[in-house]
Amino acid sequence: MSATVAVATCSVADIDSDQPILLDALERAGVTAFAHAWDDASVQWDQFDLVVLRSTWDYATRREEFLSWARQIPRLHNPFDVIERNSDKHYLADLDRLGTRVIATEFFDVGEEPRWPEGHFVVKPSVGAGSFDADRYGANDHRAALEHVKRLHARGRDVMVQPYVHSIDREGETALIFIDGQFVHAMNKGPMLNVAESDRDVLFRREQMRAITVDNNVIEFAEGALHAVGGSNLLYARVDVVNDNGWAVMEIELTEPSLFLGFRPEAADQLASAIVRRVAQ
């Protein structure tokens, strides 16, 4: 079929290792595809048959601007209503209320005084990408953690506090990738908060990743979490889980997750086929 698709990214060059793999797969599928930064005012987004949201990783401090842009894209995947809900991690509280096990999380919006869990804990913004602006603190580091919260609040950013899950140091996190509602592969992500933020560069992040095989019980848990948030039939999804005396959701990434296509080349063709199906709808 003849179709044109835009892959929405950000202006940072070569930030997304998935991007060239996806563009090649779309070309094999007979789709003319272009990568454009989401905030490039010169792009006429309505000229495309579909806009696929991918590595828009600079939106965290500009969420309202980002949502204003996404709201105007008529054929966006994942769609705007999903992006609006999922781009703020307050959705974890909703997921918890729906009965899905999540990492214990408290939210402290701008102006609210934080409370600290016992032991080591993590402070991060409720709107964020990767581990940026996140940090781990020891049981006696309350003063430093409070300064972190104050810095985020001063920039208008709500905050979330979670106990640090120590199994991450031993086992890492498990990321389960879904395309068109179907599980395709899983990755192990090593600990990200065991080094200073300035050292969490692209190379460090890639070195923390490896493909793994997971048991059906993990897949079923992730599928249940996706179903709870209405994400079972989306173009793509990633469910990050950790072993915290049983599986628990760390995040459900429906906005702009890395899909680690380089670790499973056929996944790119699966994603391209799913995009073609949506163009035809």
**Residues of the chain falling short of pLDDT 70:** 1, 13, 130, 192-208
Q: Between 3.50.50.60, 3.40.50.20, 3.40.50.970, 3.40.1160.10, what CATH number should domain 3-86+265-280 receive?
A: 3.40.50.20
Domain ranges of the chain: 3-86+265-280, 91-101+167-254, 106-162
CATH architecture of 106-162: 2-Layer Sandwich (3.30)
Question: For residue range 195-206, what is the model confidence (pLDDT) as tens digits?
Answer: 444 443 443 355
Length in residues, the chain: 281
pLDDT for the residue numbered 209? 86
pLDDT for the residue numbered 75? 95
Q: Please tell me the distance from the alpha carbon of residue 51 to that of residue 77, in angstroms, as a whole number.
A: 6
CB contact set of 4 (below 8 Å; sequence gap of 6+): 31, 32, 33, 34, 47, 48, 49
Query: How far is CA 89 from each of CA 11, 101, 119, 125, rounded to the nearest angstrom?
Result: 24, 15, 23, 9
pLDDT for the residue numbered 281? 85
With beta carbons less than 8 A apart as the criterion, state whether 4 and 47 touch.
yes
